[in-house]
Amino acid sequence: MKKISRRQFMTTASAVTLGVVATNNVSAFEKISSSANTLAIAGGTPVRQNKTWPKWPQADEKVIESVTKTTRSGIWCRIDSPNGTVPTFEKEYASLMGAKYCVATGSGTQSLHTCVEALGIGPGDEVITSPYTDMGTISGILSARALPVLADIDRESFQLDPKIVERLITPNTKAIIPVHIMGQPCDLDSIMAIAKKHNLYVIEDACQAHLAQFRGKRLGTIGDVGCFSHQSSKTIPCGEGGSIIGDNEELMDQCYTVMNHGTNKKGRSITIGPKYRMNEFEGAVLLAQLPKAIERWKRRNENAAYLTAKLKSCPGVVPQKLYDGTESGSFYLYTMGYRKEHFNNVDRAVFLKALAAEGINLSPYIANGLHRESWVDHILGLRVYQAMYSPARLKQYKEELQCPVCDKVCNEEMLMLWASGPLLGTKKDMDDIVDAIMKLYENKDQLSKVQL
Ligand SMILES: *Cc1c(COP(=O)(O)O)cnc(C)c1O
């Protein structure tokens, strides 16, 4: 079966479909043909036979031992010991990322909120970020009662569009939160230049982007601070957890203080802050994840590069665009843009259903951009927002909350593979993904008959 080329397959199979080959001498042959040329959703043989992918997260003996050790030690809170798992993780993570300091928190959302507070951003201030992200990106802006201004994204990279960011800057803009969506670098050259020109802080939302590199640096070390999530699905996980990295000692001390309910390292309570400490069990899991993190990150990058190279032969799916300066991603997610004109104009839902029947499950990912959710009307009705922003500003804010590219990506184009586990797979696993997509592409005429 391997020896027959795809082209040969196609020719022979159309002969079968046309009934040119006599039915009595083609039994074995027809089987091969039908697996290659009849979509699984129409009764053909699925491309992928193996139903299992590398699972995620992974708990090896090291993780189990580490948690057990913490349990027995009685050191369950980070302030119980300067050598506990959390302070140790902070040191090791900073060093792995090439940052001077790290402050651990309870989640990526908490990390972002901590940075917003630590930078003194509050009511009356504005922060520009992407609508195509986790709610955690703007949750901290809202908790600080500042205004999240959402700039539309680029259709090919799914990242914040710098031209729109610059257009949305007002005298009250204090910071940009660029999101490295899918774990790959956003257009950092442009974003950093805009921030410099307008004197804005940059809080990198690197919640998906562990270990990814841009122009010789790890993501999270390029802006003023970088925030990470260690939630279960992410590539360095502990269930729920977060971290902040940065080189500015004063700012990172302030992050610690905010994270520690406003109490600084000397035990003095000096500012407003929630209590966002990571606990020692989470630290124990994270520490035990670090030894394998680099090897896994390399493998995901190799597999992603392999997929991207192979998918070049299919114009109907366009792998996420990477910007100049990108040296690696985290490949938390591997994503493509769906171009229906290359698939007989069938909607993405049809493509996804037919692909799933071939044994490959991709997701449409985020259903709606954040500009489409009802927090907008909620905050516009709050006294603090009405007091801190002029009626004209709030009216303009609502009018400008339009992100047509984000809408198109959400509604029609995004194809997403949860990659933390699957991209640790074999070349055969990657071939299955490509072969299933190519099968749909080469047999696109059959897609029109698929019922949703
Ligand atoms: C996961 C994620 C967050 C939030 O992190 P949590 O740990 O889930 O709070 C923020 N931004 C992005 C881009 C994320 O993917």
The finding on whether 422 has its CB within 6 A of some atom of ligand 1 is no
What pLDDT, in 10s, does the model give residues 115-160?
999 999 999 999 999 999 999 999 999 999 999 999 999 999 999 9
Query: pLDDT-based confidence at 30, cuts 50/70/90?
Result: very low
Measured in angstroms, how far is the CA atom of residue 109 from the centroid of ligand 1? 6
* Ligand 1 atom at minimal distance to the Cα of residue 229: 7
pLDDT at 26: 43
The answer on pLDDT for 288 being more than 80 is yes
Say which of 31, 174, 234, 310 is annotated catalytic.
234
Mean pLDDT throughout 325-345?
98
Measured in angstroms, how far is the CA atom of residue 112 from the centroid of ligand 1? 9
The answer on pLDDT for 310 being more than 70 is yes
Measured in angstroms, how far is the CA atom of residue 239 from the centroid of ligand 1? 12
What pLDDT, in 10s, does the model give residues 177-234?
999 999 999 999 999 999 999 999 999 999 999 999 999 999 999 999 999 999 999 9
> Quick one: what percent of the chain has pLDDT higher than 70?
92
| Residues facing residue 104 across a β-bridge | 243
pLDDT at 10: 42
The finding on whether 125 has its CB within 6 A of some atom of ligand 1 is no
pLDDT at 252: 98
The secondary structure of 378-435 as a DSSP string is: HHHTSHHHHHHS-HHHHHHHHHH---HHHHHIIIIIEEEEE-TTGGGS-HHHHHHHHH
Q: How many CB atoms lie within 10 A of CB 386?
A: 13
The answer on pLDDT for 17 being more than 60 is no
Q: How many CB atoms lie within 10 A of CB 334?
A: 26
370 with 402: CB under 8 angstroms?
no
The finding on whether 108 has its CB within 6 A of some atom of ligand 1 is yes
The finding on whether 204 has its CB within 6 A of some atom of ligand 1 is no
354 with 440: CB under 8 angstroms?
yes
DSSP 216: T
Query: Strands, E, within 108-146: which ranges?
Result: 126-129
The finding on whether 231 has its CB within 6 A of some atom of ligand 1 is yes
pLDDT at 159: 98
Task: Domain ranges for the chain, please list them.
Answer: 55-452
Mutate which of 229, 330, 331, 333 for ligand 1? The one with the most ligand atoms within 8 Å of its CB, which is 229
The answer on pLDDT for 273 being more than 70 is yes
Question: Which of 186, 131, 151 lies closest to 329, judged by CA?
Answer: 186
Q: Which CATH number fits domain 55-452: 1.10.150.120, 3.30.460.80, 3.40.50.2000, 3.40.640.10?
A: 3.40.640.10
Which residue lies with its CA nearest to atom 5 of ligand 1? Answer: 108
* Ligand 1 atom at minimal distance to the Cα of residue 133: 13
The secondary structure of 329-396 as a DSSP string is: ---SEEEEEE-GGGTTT--HHHHHHHHHHTT---B---SS-GGGSTHHHHHHTSHHHHHHS-HHHHHH
pTM exceeds 0.85:
yes
- Kindly calculate the radius of gyration of the chain based on its CA atoms and give it in whole angstroms: 25
Structure tokens at 230: 């260690």
69 is catalytic: no
Structure tokens at 366: 């985020």
* Sheet containing strand 201-205, strands side by side: 101-105, 242-246, 225-229, 201-205, 173-177, 126-129, 147-150
The finding on whether 184 has its CB within 6 A of some atom of ligand 1 is no
CA distance 176 to 196: 11
Q: How many CB atoms lie within 10 A of CB 51?
A: 7
The finding on whether 227 has its CB within 6 A of some atom of ligand 1 is no
Mutate which of 204, 208, 406 for ligand 1? The one with the most ligand atoms within 8 Å of its CB, which is 208
The answer on pLDDT for 27 being more than 50 is no
Mean pLDDT throughout 356-373?
98
pLDDT at 188: 98
pLDDT at 333: 98
The finding on whether 213 has its CB within 6 A of some atom of ligand 1 is no
